[in-house]
Chain A
Amino acid sequence: MFHLRLVPDNTRIAFMKGRFAGIGLSVLLSLASVVLYFYPGLNYGIDFAGGIVIEARTPETSNFGKMRTVLHDLNMGSVALQEFGSANDVLIRLERQPGDDAAQQRAADRVRATLAKEFPGTQVRRVEAVGASVSGELFRNGMLALGLAMGAMLVYIWFRFEWQFGLGAVVTLLLDVTKTIGFYVLFDLQFNLTAIAAILTIMGYSINDKVVVYDRMRENLRIYKKMPLRELIDLSINETLNRTLGTSMSTLLSILPLAFFGGEALQEFGIVLIFGIFLATSSSIFIAAPILLFLGENRLRRGAPEAAPAAGQPQQAP
């Protein structure tokens, strides 16, 4: 009976040989992401920066030139127009208006009225207007959720495994999160509440992956008492490779429709999650595992191992 295998069984790739390249590249990318975070910086969406978003559908192909002029004449600061979906759909973004929260509401009402007057038949399909006090609060809560999630993961892994695993997982998470943020900057995606959901999801996914690999490593540490850690890590990764890639595949397939049909908000969410799946899968193999290797064999085994004559030979656990 034929079964699709993403990698052949008995694959034995010496991943640890590439540990310096893997971690090096990862750190480099994360550093680049940090730079991107400061310059040019995240494109904060309406949830976190406040402002106005209006989604409108014009009866015929949207006349962007006229719309830009008309809206510009309202003197509301920078107006961004974006076509999406069909040629009749236009997304209007206005920066946060000076003044209090109520100023956003007045501005949104003005744009609505202007559209109705200048482009008869235009259907306003969505309006969001968020003031500074709300956006500030959403941002604080979002960051709090990310921070607490990070802490909770550390505590969880620490309870379930030895501290080395916890450290490995959290360092990997940090690298994952920075790169995700870099991805947002690089592709100028809207950093909104859904971005927090996306980052949390990627963190969760990444941790899942690490837990599976670590579980296997721990199991193998018990079985192969004398195998050098480096070989043991390679073995564990290889043994779980079909599962790691299989789950990545199933999650990727389930998320894929979002990137196509998700609409304005969820399309970007889908794209980021797809990026996150690649990220989490690669970081399990190239980051989380090598970190354990660096932290050292002695500590993991609590006792100096001898040179391993029986390497690769299973020994029954006592």
Chain B
Amino acid sequence: MLYFSRWKIYTILVVCLLGIVLALPNVLGRDTLAALPSWYGQNRVHLGLDLRGGSHLLLEVDMGAVVRERLEGLVDGARTQLRTANIGYTGLSAGDRQVTIQLRDPAQAEEAVKQLKQLAITVGGGPLGGGLPDITTSVNGSTVTVALSDEAVRQRAQQAVEQSIEIVRRRIDETGVSEPTIARQGMDRILVQLPGVDDPDRVKRLLGTTAKMTFRLVDANADPSTGRAPPGSEILQSTEGGRGGQGAYVIRRKVEVDGANLTNATAGTNSQNGEWVVNFEFDSQGARRFAETTKQNVGRPFAIVLDNKVISAPVIREPITGGRGQISGNFNAQSANDLAVLLRAGALPAPLKVIEERTVGPDLGADSIRAGLISVIAGFTMVCIYMIAAYGLFGVMACLGLLVNLVLTIAALSVMQATLTLPGIAGILLMLGLAVDANILINERIREEAKKGRTPFAAMEAGFSRAYATIIDANLTTAIKMALLFIFGVGTVKGFAVTITFGILISMFTATVLVRLMMVSWLRRSKPAALPV
């Protein structure tokens, strides 16, 4: 174990040098970095939000709402289909993932099924088709059941999450946060990381709004105060509160124009009264429908509904044909801007809930970095003092190995683009203590062998080879633990597993190979009569 071929020595030295070069950008100043090529200058440790400051939000897509919405669509569709086919029914209700229809005449079941099958939407499949209908129908006497298949629910959920991610990204981009991370997590969650945001209030508000906007007619014949709406209409609350004395409206369910047809929305002020408003533009389809609706309903109130709340219900004075309009409704600068952002980015396919927030101010982050740095320097110094006190010259070599270990770990973190978190710094500290364990094992063993009367060479040879198996055992057990922590750990704690794993794996090289090279070189050069252990 004591022989090193020339190329092996060079390889070891090259690895160490390479590590130093790769770790270097982490300690260079901003100006120096700017002068370096970007691929090299950017090769730095990526700091976690707990160190650089920022906000971590975990969002959950409300899958229940996705299914509910499809079921409502099925109920509406079934009603229309059965009516046009002249099939009588006594009951039509939506349950958990299915719609049940009680037919008046069981003989019409077959015809009913045929009609209902037309409500299916094809899910899955690629550009060449091959998808499956999202509903299955079954008949039991006079009862017809239309059920959403599990596959369909899964597909729909998948789609909802993907769309949501896209919308979330657009909304966050509008807020001007730099370098946000938006990623899917698990089945129905979205992880959002916003560096530098220390009050995510606005983002939370923006993301917590579905922003489903519809333009619908007001049912002027019905009185909302009765609490009952005629079929085809529903009672919706107004966001304006008591303004104009009206807290609620009866709104037709039929959507005249959908917010999906908006192409642009901007906040502005009304030139006449100076109130904040949101100006919007429709695409050609939306403009056409908007024109038709306004033409046919002049003189009637028209409701702008956002997430089942009526923003405003102005009376149509004249047909609006230009595809442009204005929403007024008790806005201030902030809320008008927020609404414009939401309309531009589009509606979420399902409501999002913030289920976890972790925010660290930039100040605390900077403090943590400083504390981490002091801790690592203090830990390193104390370990070195102990090692040198206990093993003299071999202790010095172990410390050099430890220093290289530290540098290589930082280089590895930089190259792998791993994220360094506060627990990650704790991992580095712990790694310092654990890494020298290999040197302690080796030195103790060499000492024992020397005591038995072996020559320095033989003692060192025996010491290294006997301690080696133990070192591998010890490090492997640590690596197994940390792999488990990495798989099951969450967020910043993962950083702990990452730094320890890197550090320990690298210590197998530094504490054994590199330190061995140092010790052997010294041995060959000075040919001592006794080992300094």
Contacts and interface: CB of A to CB of B under 8 A. Distances in A.
B426 A156 contact: no
Interface stretch (A25-33, A66-74, A180-188, A249-257): A249-257
Interface string B374-401: 1110111011001101111000000000
A17 B80 CA distance: 89
Interface stretch (A139-147, A226-234, A284-292, A296-304): A139-147
A256 B496 CA distance: 17
Given A128-B358, A257-B429, A266 B379 contact: no
B177 interface: no
Interface string B196-236: 00110100100010000000000000000000000000000
A197 B423 contact: yes
Given A145-B485, A255-B379, A100 B353 contact: yes
Contact of A125 (B360, B389, B489, B490): B360
A77 interface: no
Interface in A240-261: 240, 242-243, 246-247, 249-258, 260-261
A45 interface: no
B469 interface: yes
A265 B360 CA distance: 13
Interface stretch (A35-43, A105-113, A305-313): A105-113
A207 interface: yes
Nearest to B486: A145
B433 A125 contact: no
A266 B359 contact: no
B496 A148 contact: no
Contacts of B364: 55, 125-126
A208 B383 contact: no
B429 A255 contact: yes
Nearest to A209: B474
Interface in A1-38: 1, 3-6, 9
B355 interface: yes
Contact of A212 (B199, B433, B474, B484): B474
B68 to A, nearest CB: 16
Instruction: Label chain B's interface by main secondary structure.
Output: helix
A256 B493 CA distance: 19
Given A246-B390, A253-B382, A3 B201 contact: no
B448 interface: yes
A133 B387 CA distance: 47
Interface in B406-462: 422-423, 425-426, 429-434, 436-437, 440-441, 444, 447-448, 451
A252 B386 CA distance: 11
B170 to A, nearest CB: 22
B379 A193 contact: no
Interface in B337-385: 353-361, 363-364, 367-368, 371-372, 374-376, 378-380, 382-383
Interface in B498-533: 500, 532-533
Contact of B433 (A142, A196, A253): A253
Nearest to B198: A124
B478 interface: yes
Interface residues of A, number: 78
A252 to B, nearest CB: 7
B440 A134 contact: no
B422 A265 contact: yes
A215 B489 contact: no
A131 B204 CA distance: 15
Contact of B484 (A129, A131, A200, A250): A200
Contact of A4 (B383, B386, B426): B386
Interface centre among B368, B429, B490 (most CB of A within 10 A): B429
A128 B389 CA distance: 44
Interface residues of B, number: 78
Contacts of B363: 57, 123, 125
A257 to B, nearest CB: 4
B470 A212 contact: yes
B480 interface: yes
A101 B208 CA distance: 13
B355 A251 contact: no
B357 A127 contact: yes
Nearest to B389: A4
Contacts of A247: 433-434, 436-437, 440-441
A197 B485 contact: yes
Interface string B251-291: 00000000000000000000000000000000000000000
A277 B473 CA distance: 18
A138 B490 CA distance: 7
A98 interface: no
Interface string A197-222: 10011011101100110010001000
A134 B356 contact: yes
A22 to B, nearest CB: 23
A88 interface: no
A167 interface: no
A250 B383 contact: yes
A263 interface: yes
Contacts of A55: 364
Nearest to B375: A257
A101 B201 contact: no
Interface centre among B208, B390, B488, B500 (most CB of A within 10 A): B488
Given A3-B533, A215-B469, 5 more contacts: A109-B204, A247-B440, A254-B429, A256-B382, A257-B382
Interface of A: 1, 3-6, 9, 55, 57, 100-102, 104-105, 108-109, 112, 123-131, 133-134, 138, 141-142, 144-145, 148-149, 152-153, 156, 160, 193-194, 196-197, 200-201, 203-205, 207-208, 211-212, 215, 219, 239-240, 242-243, 246-247, 249-258, 260-263, 265-266, 269-270, 273
15 contacts: A3-B389, A100-B353, A126-B359, A142-B488, A144-B488, A145-B487, A145-B488, A152-B481, A194-B493, A200-B482, A211-B474, A251-B430, A251-B434, A257-B379, A262-B426
| Nearest 3 A/B pairs, CB to CB | A254-B433, A251-B433, A257-B375
